[in-house]
Amino acid sequence: MQKQKNTRLLLALSAVLILISLLPYLDNKSEGLSIDKKQFTLNQQTVITDVLLASKTITNKLSYIRGKWVVNDKYELDPNMRDVFFSVLSQLEIRREVSESQNDSITNLIRSKGIEVSVVNNQELIKNYWIWGNKDSQTSFLMDDEQAYVVHIPGYKSYVAGIFEVPEEDWRTRRVFTALFTNLNTLKIEYPHDDIEFRYKDQFFEIINIRADSTQLISSLENLLFLQTDQYLQPSEYPTYIPDGIEIKTPFASISVSKLAGTKEKVKLYNTKNESNFYLGITPDSSYCLFNKARLNQIIVKKPDFQ
């Protein structure tokens, strides 16, 4: 009797084990998926030197050059954008194939409106595909040579294609100065009728002609040295924010930095054309950008602030 019971249990256990071994295949079949859902996913250990994002309207190249990531060989890549972008590359997966009846129309859309993604390691092509998204439905599509797929990041409801579509201005680091405490000589805030200057002296920093608490001094200097813009302006946004005749207008304030090596950088600050909640800035490379008024007003200190 016990022998028959053990036999039935053994048969039941065998059936369960067989069912478990078939689950991945049954799941794929139920979703109509018979391919590797990670065939476009980038391995986190993969070495990358360049990523090219090219469409009919925009081209951006992210490159690792001399120890740092840059955008289009001109600007330092924003570290937050870098982290998010490479996280997307290493997590995106295929949710399902586009149905045969819709595949031609979707692939045509991707080719005409999408972005070609080329991931490269020292001129060796690692991944290549096209990506496009429908912003209204927040659906992202990816295609290889002939087949289109719906892609997603498992566990997140996000518009995957969005980060591939951002313009050059949004890839750039928000930090406007390149100087660090280790190579800083002076930092000056210049106003039309006054200025305040920090300088490196005797292995520490001081404010010229002002006795300042060291904690307040370093806190203020750090805020200025690591100043970040809220956004860089695209040419289409210039008429909204840039005052007429700005070339001949005196900024209400400017912040200049000089390094120990002698190089200098300056940011000029103006009121915007529409008196918005932002100040207009012209960065050391002559780019136009915006700074939040409330935040910047706390950063651009004056002499009375130290008394």
- Output the pLDDT for position 1: 45
Same domain membership, residue 190 and residue 163: no
Q: Same structural domain for residues 78 and 158?
A: yes
Q: Which residues sit opposite 129 in a β-bridge?
A: 117
Task: Write the CB contacts of 231 (distance below 8 Å, at least 6 apart in sequence).
Answer: 169, 170, 289, 290
Residue 19 domain-assigned (yes or no)? no
Task: Please indicate, yes or no, if residue 34 is contained in any of the structural domains.
Answer: no
pLDDT at 45: 86
Stretch 190-210: mean pLDDT? 93
pLDDT recorded at residue 87: 95
Same domain, 218 and 300: yes
Q: Tell me the whole-structure pTM to 2 decimals.
A: 0.81
Same structural domain, 296 and 244: yes
Tens-digit pLDDT profile for residues 224-257: 999 999 999 999 999 999 998 888 889 999 999 9
With a cut of 50, say whether residue 30 has pLDDT above it: no
Compute the C-alpha angle 232/60/139, nearest 5°.
Answer: 90
Same domain (yes/no): 130, 189: no
Residue 45 within a domain: no
What is the signed CA dihedral for 52, 53, 58, 63, rounded to 10 degrees? -40
Domain co-membership, 54 together with 145? yes
Residue 204: its H or E element: strand 204-207
- Assess whether 94 and 61 both reside in one domain: yes
pLDDT digits (tens, 9 = 90+) for 42-65: 988 889 999 999 999 889 999 999
121 lies in some domain? yes
CA angle 204, 210, 212 (to 5 degrees): 60
Please check whether residue 257 lies inside any domain of the structure.
Answer: yes
Last residue of a domain, one of 107, 142, 171: 171
* Residue 37 belongs to a domain: no
**Local structure of 220: helix, strand or coil:** helix
Q: Tokens 């039935």 correspond to what residue?
A: 8
pLDDT digit string, tens, across residues 132-175: 999 999 999 999 988 999 999 999 888 999 999 999 999 999 99
Confidence class for position 301, pLDDT limits 50, 70, 90: very high
Instruction: Note whether 150 and 159 are within 8 A (CB).
Output: no
Q: Do 62 and 94 lie in a common domain?
A: yes
pLDDT of residue 227: 97
The answer on 212 and 161 residing in a single domain is no
Residue 27 or residue 43, greater confidence = 43
In this structure, are 280 and 219 located in the same domain? yes
**Boundary (domain end) residue, out of 171, 206, 236:** 171
Does 156 share its domain with 196? no
Is there a single domain that holds both residue 185 and residue 167? no
Strand order, beta sheet including 139-143 = 75-76, 68-71, 59-65, 50-54, 115-121, 124-134, 139-143, 148-152, 93-97
* CA–CA dist 247, 56 (Å, integer): 34
229-to-21, 64, 177 alpha-carbon distances in Å: 54, 23, 10
As for how many domains the chain has, the answer is 2
Average pLDDT across the chain, whole number: 88
Q: What is the pLDDT of residue 82?
A: 96
Give the domain range for residue 221.
181-306
User: Of 25-29, 93-97, 112-116, 255-259, where does mean pLDDT reach its minimum?
Assistant: 25-29
More confident residue, 305 or 15: 305
Q: Distance (Å, rounded) from C-alpha 118 to C-alpha 48?
A: 11
- Domain edge (last residue) among 147, 171, 195: 171
Q: Is residue 62 part of a domain?
A: yes
- Domain-located, residue 18: no
